[in-house]
Every structure is written in structure tokens, then in C-alpha cells.
Amino acid sequence: MLDLLPIFAQQIINGLVLGSIYVLATLGLTLIFGVLGQINFAHADFMTLGAFAAYFVARATGGNYLIAIVAALLVGALLGSIINGTIFSPLRNADETRPLVATIGVSVLLENTTLAFLGPVPYAFDSPYSSQVIRMAGLFFTAQNLLVVVIAVLAVGSLYAFMKLTFVGKALRALAQDREAAGLMGINQKQLIALTFVIASAFAGLAGAMLGPILVLTPFAGASVIVKAFAIVIIGGFGNIEGTIVAGLLIGLIESFTTQFLSPGMSDIVVFGLLLLTLAFRPTGLIAERREENV
């Protein structure tokens, strides 16, 4: 039994790393849903484009990963701003499924345009940290893994501080709670929503930069994660940041353990099974509370 312990601990580490990436990937989705009640289906492709931006910038600067990360952040922010301006803002008062359908179209468009330009062959994105292996107490992880967790913690921490301490952050939370009331209090909704998209999509770009060296980098890299990201957002509770963090880490751990002890194919089934169970019994998420619809 004791010899299982190191495998166990290793899976915990793997799970936490994976979970950190999921958290970075999904925070943006949660933010957008919390403030606007909408889903950006192209979020995954922002991740992919962020990953590619990081890749090319890293190559152009002779391997400077940190600048590459910044580039990914900026690319994400830009994409977020564009999609807000072209789709979510004009459709603000429309039937709620229209923006979702539109972003599905954008997602297909982005994926295949990227495919046309960059081809289907995976790009080998090696960050200078991927090859540095750290051993601690019989456990392995790469410097890249450590970097991912560190950056995730920093990013989430800053978001938290922003939401709780700054005026703009509080305005965002007010907007998420009650759009009408927030509007009446003189909060400029359009600008806040635009800001939300910028932040959320910057997170997506960042997640992509983190993901690039770990996953296979193709135009469909983001798409492989996105469906799980949705699952996480729902399980954690749409719009609930704490919930998303917990759920993201949880899913990372579950996936890690399932892959090790069952089989890789089963991990998707387990995660989505959990999703459907959550939807069946607590559709507002594991952490959020239930509310009766206002008639």
C-alpha cells in the first residue's frame, strides 16, 4: 500500500498543475458569464491564438518566454475587445442564444483560418523551463509546471484583489449582481463590459501561453480544453469565481487520477458524467445557491 503513496502524490501534483491551467482557462468564461450572462464560445480559440502568439514571439526574441507570455496576454486582450465590439455589444438586447451561436461561428472561423495559415502539424513549443526537471521527495515536476502554478496563483490573486479592492472591481461585482440597479447608480455598463472581455480574454491568452508547452500545439489546441472548461464553469457555478477555482483544481485532480488509474479515454467520460450529475441535481453549481425565478 505504501508504495502507492509516491504515485498518489505524483498524481496530486500533476492534477494541481493541470487544474491550474484549467482555472486560468475558465476564469475568463466565468467572468463573462457572471457580468453579462453570456458565453463566448470562441474563448478556446483565444487560448490557441495566445499560445501561437507566445510561440512566435518566443522564437523571435530568441527564447524569451516571459515576453512571450506578455504577448499572449495582449493578443488575448485585443481579441476580447474585438469580439465584444462586434458581437456581444450589438446583440446586447437580442435573444440570448444569438451571441452564443455567433461565437460558435467565430470559433469555427478562427480554427479553420488558423489551420489554413499554420497547417495541422503540431508546433513544438518548448519553453526554456520545460526541460528543467525538479526532484523533491521522490516526486517529479518540471520548472514549467512550477511556473504554471505560480503564474496561476499570481493571476488569480491579482484578479481577486482587483475585484475586492478597486472601485472598478466593485463596480463589476455590482454589475454581476443586478444589471438594472448598477445602471441606475451611474455605472457605465458598456465600458465595464468591454473591460470584462479584455480581462477575461487576456486570461485566455495567458492560459494558452501556459498550455502551449504542455499540450500539443495545433489550431485545435484550445478546442480540446474548451468543452472541459464549460464543464468546470458549470460545476463550479456559472459566474462564481471561487467555485470555478475549486472546480478547476478538482477536475484537474480527477482527470489526473482517472488517466493514471483507469485510462485516458475514461477521463472525459468521468468529467462529463460529473457535469451531467451536477446539472441534474444542482444546476447552479456545487457552491452557488438556488434562486426562484422572478415572475
Partner 1 sequence: MTSTSSRWAFGSARWLWLLGCIAVIAVLPLIFQDSYWRGVMTICAINIMLALGLDFIFGYAGQLSLGHSAFSGIGAYTSTVLVTALGVNFWIAALCGIGAGGLAGVLLSVFAVRLKGHYLAIASLGFAVITYQILVNWISVTQGPLGIYGIPSPPPLTIPGVVTISFADQQNFFYLVAGAAVLSYLMLYNLTRSPIGDALIAVREDEISAASLGIRGTKWKVVAFGIGCAIAGLAGCFYASFIGTLVPDAFFILESFMLLAMVVIGGRGNLWGAVLGAVLLTVVPELLRGIGDFRLITYGLALTLVALFLPGGLSGVLIQFARRFGGGARGALSAKGPSHA
Site residues (vs partner 1, CB under 8 A): 33, 37-39, 86-87, 90-91, 93-113, 115-116, 227, 230-231, 233-234, 238, 263, 265-266, 268-269, 272-273, 275-276, 279-280, 283, 293, 295
Report whether 193 contacts 99 (CB < 8 A).
no
Question: Taking the complex as a whole, how short is the minimal distance between the CB of residue 78 and partner 1, in angstroms?
Answer: 18
For partner 1, the closer CB: 100 or 139: 100
The answer to whether the CB of 247 falls within 8 A of the CB of 235 is yes
Residue 70 CB, nearest distance to partner 1 (Å)?
A: 29
Q: How many CB atoms lie within 10 A of CB 170?
A: 14
Nearer to partner 1, 65 or 88 (CB): 88
Residues contacting residue 271 through CB under 8 Å, at least 6 positions apart: 228, 231, 251, 254, 255
Residue 144 or 278 having the CB closest to partner 1: 278
Q: 222, 248, 223, 218: which is closest to 233 by C-alpha?
A: 248
Q: From the CB of 141, what's the least distance to partner 1, in Å?
A: 28
Closest CA to 22 of 286, 229, 239: 229
Helix (H, G, I), strand (E, B) or coil at 282: coil
Q: How far is the CB of 284 from partner 1 (least distance, A)?
A: 9
Min. distance of Cβ 160 from partner 1 in angstroms?
25
Closest to partner 1 by CB, 81 or 284: 284
Locate all alpha helices (DSSP H) within 37-142, ordered by sequence.
43-60, 65-83, 97-118
Residue among 161 and 262 whose Cβ is closer to partner 1: 262
Q: Residue 201: count other Cβ atoms within 10 Å of its Cβ.
A: 31
Task: Give the burial string for 80-107 (b: 16+ CB within 10 Å, else e).
Answer: bbebbeebbeebeeeeeeebeebbeebb
CB nearer to partner 1: give 144 or 201.
201
CB of 91 to partner 1, least distance (A): 7
